[in-house]
């Protein structure tokens, strides 16, 4: 392990650091939301993804953005639907496609969770980086995310 660490590039070290920070922040968000609102962090992540999509998101996009398989996304959405947080609706232009929308309760819960999540993000991540560093990280990760999603680098 020591040899690998010494020979690892900064890109490998950055990826490892990203994984460690992601795990720590995700765990802190989950613990906080469980304690404060009684919901898992994954529910909040789902509600935020739909909200960021303008309140309406195709199931396939939801699966991609949450890194779930199609069947995993379906089971996950089933739970959110049973909890009254999302609704599935047929797409008016393509009946084979289902879209997710937040219910009023889903919007309320997402908005109630926002301050808790923002506090945890600042305590576990934000206080360790400057706004300039955050911009560099954001741009690098956005480029990587888009490229991995098939967007041509010239368009990024």
Residues 102-140: tens digit of each pLDDT: 999 999 999 999 999 999 999 999 999 999 999 999 999
Q: Is the pLDDT of residue 2 over 70?
A: no
Report how far apart, in Å, the C-alpha atoms of 47 and of each of 5, 71, 87 are: 38, 18, 11
- Cβ contact 76:31 at 8 Å: no
pTM metric for this prediction: 0.83
Give the E-state strand segments of the chain in sequence order: 56-58, 86-90, 98-102
What does the pLDDT look like over 92-102, one tens digit per residue?
Answer: 888 888 899 99
């Amino acid at each position: 392990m020591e040899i690998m660490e010494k020979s690892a590039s900064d890109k490998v070290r950055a990826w490892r650091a990203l994984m460690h920070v992601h795990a720590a922040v995700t765990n802190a968000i989950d613990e906080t939301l469980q304690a404060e609102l009684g919901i898992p962090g994954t529910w909040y992540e789902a509600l935020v993804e739909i909200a960021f999509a303008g309140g309406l998101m195709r199931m396939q996009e939801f699966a991609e953005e949450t890194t779930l398989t199609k069947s995993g996304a379906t089971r996950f959405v089933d739970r959110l639907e049973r909890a009254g947080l999302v609704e599935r609706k047929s797409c008016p232009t393509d009946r084979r496609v289902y879209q997710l929308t937040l219910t009023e309760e889903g919007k309320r819960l997402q908005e109630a969770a926002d301050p808790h999540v923002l506090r945890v993000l600042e305590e576990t991540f934000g206080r360790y980086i400057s706004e300039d560093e955050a911009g560099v990280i954001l741009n690098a990760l956005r480029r990587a995310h888009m490229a991995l999603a098939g967007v041509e680098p010239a368009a990024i």
